[in-house]
Structure 1
Amino acid sequence: MAAFTSKDVARVAGVSQSTVSYVMTGKRPISERTRRRVLDAMEQLTYEPHAGARALAGRRTRVVGLVVRFGIGGDTFGLLPFIETITSSARAHDHDVLLVTADEGSAGLRRLAGRALCDAIIMMDIEEQDERVPVAAGLSVPVVLIGVPADPAGLHCVDLDFEAAARMAVDELAGAGHDEIVVMGYPASSMERGLNFVGRVLRSARRQARVRGLPLTVIEPVERGQEAAAVDQLLARWTNKHQRLGVLVPHSDAIVPLLNALRKRDVVPGRDISLIGLSTDREAEQSDPPYTNVSGEPRDVSRRAMETLFWLLDPSSGVERPAIDLVAPRLTRRTTVMPTPSN
C-alpha cells in the first residue's frame, strides 16, 4: 500500500494543495464536484476509502498523535513532564492523546495520517538529520516538532533555545573570572543518534568560549553509571589548583551523580571549582548542594508546542505562531559557582 501526501492527492485530483486542505478542514466552501474529485483521489492513493473519506470530510477525530521514544536509549523519566503537559493541554481542548513509539519511524507517521487516526501530530526525539521530517512535511495533518533539525522542511518547531542556554552558561563562567571551561558531554547513544540539542549545545558553547577567549574542552561520552570515571578525567586536567576551572553539565541526568563523585573526592563546587547545570529549576533547587542552573523547562516547551498545534488546526484561534519558536532560558545563581575574584 503506497503512502499518500496532500501533494499527491492534489496532483491526482487536479487541484491545488490548498484546495485539498480546505476539503479536509471544511474551512472554506468547496463545490461538491471538486470535493468528490479529492475524495476519489484519496481513495485511489490510500486504498482506505472509509478512513480517508472521514478525514477529508472534515470530521475530526479529536485525537493528537504524540510520537515519543521509549526503551533502550530513551530517557523515559525525562519524557514525563512533556507527556503530562501535552496530555493536559489536549484535554483542555477536548482532545485525547495517542502515543506512538518513535522506533516505528516514518511508517508510524504514515499510519497515523493514512488511517485518519488523529487530527495532528507532535513529534519528539528529533535528530539533526531526521529521516522522518520530510515524510512528516508531506502528511495531510499538521505536524509540530519539539526540537529543531538541520532542515525542518517547513514544519513548525518548538524547543528550548539551547544555543542561548550554552552561551549564557559560558558567559557566566567567563564573567566570574574562570581560566578554562570543561563541558561534561552526553552519553554515546545521544551523540551517535545525532539528537538535535546535542550539537546545538556543543557548537554554541565552543563558539562562545572562542568569543570570550577561553579554552574549552568537552569530555565525552559521559555514560550513566560511569560519572565517577568522567570526574577523574576532569580532575586529571585540573593540575594547577590555582586555576579557576568552570564546568558545564548540559545532560541533566548526569548532574547529581557528578556532584556526588566530586564530593567523594573532596572537591566542592563553589569553593574549588565551579559547576553550572542545564536542568529544570526544581532539580537544581532540590539537589545537595543546590546548583547554579540554566533552566530547561519541558512544561513551557510543551505548552508552546500545543498552542502551535491548535493554532495550525484553527488559524483563526489566535496570533500566528512563528515557524521556529524557541523558549528563552534563564540562569539562576545558587551555590556552585565561585565568586568573582576581587582585584
Structure 2
Amino acid sequence: MAAFTSKDVARIAGVSQSTVSYVMTGKRPISERTRRRVLDAMEELTYEPHSGARALAGRRTQVVGLVVPFGAGGETLALLPFIETIASSARVHDHEVLLVTADEGSAGLRRLAGRALCDAIIMMDIEEHDDRVPVAAALSVPVVLIGVPADPAGLHCVDLDFEAAARMAVDELADTGHDEIVVLGYTASAMERGLNFVGRVLRTVRRQARVRGLPLTVIEPVERGREAAATVADQLLARRTGGRLGVLVPHSDTIVPLLHALRQRDVVPGRDISLIGLSSDRAAEQSDPPYTNVSEEPRDVSRRAMETLFWLLDPSSGVERPAIDLVAPRLTRRTTVLPAPSH
C-alpha cells in the first residue's frame, strides 16, 4: 500500500502543505470550508497523520537528493557555488547530499524517492516545459526547484528574479542615453533545451526595450570560447554607426572572452561602447576591466532553496515559504558603461 504524506493531502485538497499541518495541529485558525477539503482529502487517501508522521520520522535518511545538470550541457564551474552552498546548508541541518545527474531524467527522480534514498530533493537545470516536473510533483518526498518552469505543478520554486534583472539592465542603458541595445543570446544547446531562464530574460529584454523606445538586436546563438567571442566582437563593431551602443551579456561565461576580443581590437567598454553583464559580483569585480553587472548570486538562491526545503520537511519550523520565491537582483556600476551625456 502506498504511504501517503501531507504533501499528497495538500495536492488533493488544493491547499499548501502548511495548511494541512495547521488543520492537523490547530496552531492557526482555518476556515471551515478549507478544513473540510483537507479532511476529505485525508479520508480519500486514508491518511493517518499521527501514526504516519511517526513512521515517516522513523524512516528519515538525513539525505538531500540534488539533481544537477552534469552531462546535459551544463557549465560545471558555474554549478560549484550552488553545490557548495547546498552542501553547507545540508550539514547545518545534519543532512548529507546525494548527487544525481540530470541526464537520468525522471528515472533518477523515481529512483531517489522509490528506494527511500533521501528525505527531499532539490532540482536544478529546469526547462521551461520540463517533463520531470509532473513526475516530481507526484513523489512522496518534498521537491524544490531552482528555476521557474511554465507550470510548476504546485512545487515550490526558488530562483533569481531574471525578469527584474533584464529590466534593470535595459533601464540602465536607456537612462544613460544609449541609442541601441545589442543582446548576446545563449548557446544553441540552451536555446534548444528551453532552459527556463533563457525565455524569461529574452522576453523581458524585448518587452522593456519597447517600453523605453530603444532599438534592440539579439545575436543568437552565441557559443562559448574565444573564437565565438571574436566573431561577436566583429559583429558589434560592424554595428557602430556613431551612436551610443549598449551591449547586454546575460550569461557570464561569454563576458571575459568578449572583453579580451574587444581589447585586441582597441575597443574600450566605457569609452567606445557600453557593456553590462549578468553575473556574480565576484566575477565582475575580478575581471579586467571590472564590468558593470546585474547580480546573479547562486549562493543566495541556493540558501533560500534549502530554507524552503527544510521548511517543507518541518512546516512548524519557521515562517511559511512562498510558492515562488525570487531573489531580487541588484545593479553595480563599474567602468564599462558610458556615462550619461551632459546637457
TM tier relative to shorter chain: 0.7 to 0.9
**How far apart, CA to CA, are the structure 1 residues paired with 2:72 and 2:155?**
28
Equivalent residue of 2:80, what SS? helix
Contact in 2 for aligned 1:23/1:58 (Cα 8 Å): no
Unmatched segments (≥5 aa) in structure 1: 27-54
Letter in 2 for 1:329: P
Map 1:90-239 → 2, pairs under 5 A:
90-225=90-225, 226-238=228-240
Equivalent residue of 1:19, what SS? coil
**How far apart, CA to CA, are the structure 1 residues paired with 2:122 and 2:335?**
37
Equivalent residue of 2:267, what SS? coil
**How far apart, CA to CA, are the structure 2 residues paired with 1:116 and 1:107?**
14
Map 1:241-260 → 2, pairs under 5 A:
242-260=242-260
Deviations 1:124-178 (A, max 9, x none): 0000000000000000000000000000000000000000000000000000000
**How far apart, CA to CA, are the structure 2 residues paired with 1:211 and 1:76?**
36
Contact in 2 for aligned 1:278/1:294 (Cα 8 Å): yes
- Counterpart of 1:273 in structure 2 is 273
- Counterpart of 2:336 in structure 1 is 336
**How far apart, CA to CA, are the structure 2 residues paired with 1:18 and 1:194?**
39
Contact in 1 for aligned 2:110/2:139 (Cα 8 Å): yes
- Asked if residue 19 in structure 1 is aligned to residue 44 in structure 2, the reply is no
- Asked if residue 65 in structure 1 is aligned to residue 65 in structure 2, the reply is yes
Residue 25 of structure 1: CA displacement? 3.2
Sort the Cα spacing of 1:128 and 1:18 in 2 relative to 1 into closer, same or farther, 3 A.
farther
Letter in 1 for 2:134: P
- Asked if residue 292 in structure 1 is aligned to residue 292 in structure 2, the reply is yes
Q: Which runs of 4+ in 1 moved over 6 A?
A: 3-6
**How far apart, CA to CA, are the structure 2 residues paired with 1:137 and 1:80?**
26
Which shows bigger deviation, 226-235 or 206-215?
226-235
Equivalent residue of 2:98, what SS? strand
Contact in 2 for aligned 1:4/1:139 (Cα 8 Å): no
**Could you tell me the TM-score, scaled by structure 1's length?**
0.86
Identity %: 82
Equivalent residue of 2:186, what SS? coil
Deviations 1:298-343 (A, max 9, x none): 0000000000000000000000000000000000000000000011
CA RMSD, 1 decimal: 2.1
Residue 59 of structure 1: CA displacement? 1.9
The number of residues matched between the two structures is 309
**How far apart, CA to CA, are the structure 1 residues paired with 2:179 and 2:51?**
62
- Counterpart of 1:304 in structure 2 is 304
Letter in 2 for 1:120: A
**Could you tell me the TM-score, scaled by structure 2's length?**
0.86
**How far apart, CA to CA, are the structure 2 residues paired with 1:281 and 1:108?**
34
Residue 74 of structure 1: CA displacement? 1.3
Deviations 1:160-214 (A, max 9, x none): 0000000000000000000000001111111110000010000011110000000
